Amino acid sequence: MSRLLEKHGIQVGRMTPGATNSITDVDGVMVGHTTLIEGENVRTGATAIVPHSGNIFHEKVKAGALTINGFGKAVGLPQINEFGMIETPILLTNTLNVGKVSDALISWVLPHYQRLDCSITSLNPIVAECNDSYLNDIQGRHVEKEHVFHALDTASADPVAEGVVGAGTGVSAFEFKSGIGSASRIVRLDGENYTVGVLSLPNFGRREELVIKGVPIGRELRDYEREPHDGEEGSIVIVIATDLPLSHRQLVRIAKRASFGIARTGGICHNGSGEFVISFTTANKVPHDPKRIFLEERRLNDAHSVINAVFQATIEAVEESILSALFSAETMVGIDGHRRGALPIPEVLSFLKASGHSYS
């Protein structure tokens, strides 16, 4: 479903998307999903973002992490910001499944990344979550070890499957069905093309807040197939990948711009929202090797305004990834007969068309 917005003639922002307009446009990045839809109550899953195809523990990836609103259960963030690196894939799942998934991630890493000369006795698994309890039996913690393994083992560099897949299986945004969304932008610097890719898991927002390209779609669709709200306020997890050589400080600066992309869709960062951003670069990988006392690195100079293009790319990709999740997701019925309807695309297109400013 990649490039779905483009197919509907909707262009988000001013910058050029990458080849597939998804996070896997960043060379090396892979994504895998396990989707759990079983019986009437299980609507959940796991999504793995694998920064590169090598041994991530031994070729660590520079990263930054940011908490926008901390009502969330993400694990692994303090070490990201102390060391400026991640050493495992990133897993997304539901709120109450974080413990099991982080344990499963360890179980996967040990045989895959451990080497004979280096026993892994300390490992910082990265797991973030959204609350899918409106559709899913969340207390059941149905994401098991084999589901995590499947997401990791099937991760590929293909265009990201979006919508009702993986950790996005049971989520909602703006009281429409949501899911996984992804987008990318090209940044041209010093004669080279670099890519900023985003994968997001939007699970936030009241109906009337939704804005698409400035048009208050949520207000127009206020009463469209609306069910009583469930009280949980949702969350959003945003993963930003790039091949630009950025330092930890710069990766955190990029992460800070995610709020601006969320705001463009109408989000206001609710009280009970867990909003976490993890950003990483595939440039300047750090070897797990005590003999390497110094590292030679090339990095972007942000003493001047050149980094603004990276900020703009991030904001646009975050915005588009959220919209793409909504456009890709189909209606779902889940636990207790709860129903979450898909965004009615024809109506949306009609409202966009009726607005004076072109949406194409």
Among positions 324-353, residues that touch a copy of itself (CB under 8 A) are 351, 353
CA distance 312 to 65: 19
Q: Which of 129, 175, 275, 316 is catalytic?
A: 275
- Please give the Cα distance from 319 to 185 (Å, whole number): 11
Binders of a copy of itself among 107-136, rule CB under 8 A?
110, 119-125, 131, 133
- Name the 3-class secondary structure at 90: strand
Instruction: For residue 218, give the amino acid letter.
Output: G
Q: Tell me the C-alpha distance between 336 and 226, whole Å.
A: 16
Compare residues 19 and 268 and give the one whose CB is closer to a copy of itself: 268
Write down the least CB distance from residue 163 to a copy of itself, Å.
23
Crossing angle of helices 248-256 and 308-328, in 10° steps, is: 50
Q: Which stretch binds a copy of itself (CB under 8 A): 23-31, 100-108, 152-160, 167-175?
A: 100-108
Q: Minimal distance in Å, beta carbon 316 to a copy of itself?
A: 9
Which of the following is catalytic: 102, 133, 182, 235?
235
Whether 275 is catalytic = yes
Residue 46's CB: how many other CB atoms inside 10 A?
30
For residue 157, the minimal CB distance to a copy of itself (Å) is 26
Taking the least distance from each CB to a copy of itself, the nearer of 39 and 119 is: 119
Q: Is residue 200 flagged as an active site residue? A: no
Choosing from 95, 242, 321, 324, the residue that interacts with a copy of itself (CB under 8 A) is: 95
Among 16, 55, 81, 331, binds a copy of itself (CB under 8 A): 81
Residue 60 as a binder of a copy of itself (CB under 8 A): the answer is: yes
Short-list 30, 40, 167, CA closest to 96: 167
Site string for a copy of itself, 202-231 (x = CB under 8 A): ------x--x-xxxx--xx----------x
Nearer to a copy of itself, 158 or 227 (CB): 227
Residue 235 a catalytic site member: yes
- Helix pair 145-153, 98-113: axis angle to 10 deg: 50
Torsion angles phi and psi, residue 53, rounded to 5: -85, 0
Q: How far is CA 333 from the centre of its chain?
A: 24
Alpha-carbon gap, residue 34 to 100, rounded angstroms: 15
> Judged by CB, which is closer to a copy of itself: 93, or 182?
93
Report the run of H or E that residue 99 belongs to, with start and end.
helix 98-113
- Using rule CB under 8 A, residue 233 touches a copy of itself: yes
Structure tokens at 209: 């807040």
Q: Scanning residues 176 to 195, which ones bind a copy of itself (CB under 8 A)? A: 189-190
Q: Is 205 left (phi over 0), alpha (psi -120 to 50) or beta?
A: left
Q: Does 138 bind a copy of itself (CB under 8 A)?
A: yes
- The one catalytic residue among 2, 22, 273, 324: 273
Q: Which member of 247, 331, 339, 344 binds a copy of itself (CB under 8 A)?
A: 247
**Least distance (Å) between residue 357 CB and a copy of itself:** 6
Burial readout 87-126 (b: 16 or more C-beta within 10 A, e: otherwise):
bbbbbbbbbbbbebbbebbeebbeeebbeeeeeeeebbbb
Residues 6+ apart with CB under 8 A from 360: 9, 10, 11
How many chain residues touch a copy of itself (CB under 8 A)?
108
Q: 103, 133, 115, 113: which is closest to 50 by C-alpha?
A: 113
100 part of the interface to a copy of itself, by CB under 8 A = yes
Site for a copy of itself in 256-315 (CB under 8 A): 256-257, 259-260, 262-264, 267-272, 274, 276, 286-290, 292-308, 311-312, 315
Residue 102: phi, psi to the nearest 5?
-70, -35
Residues designated as active site: 235, 273, 275
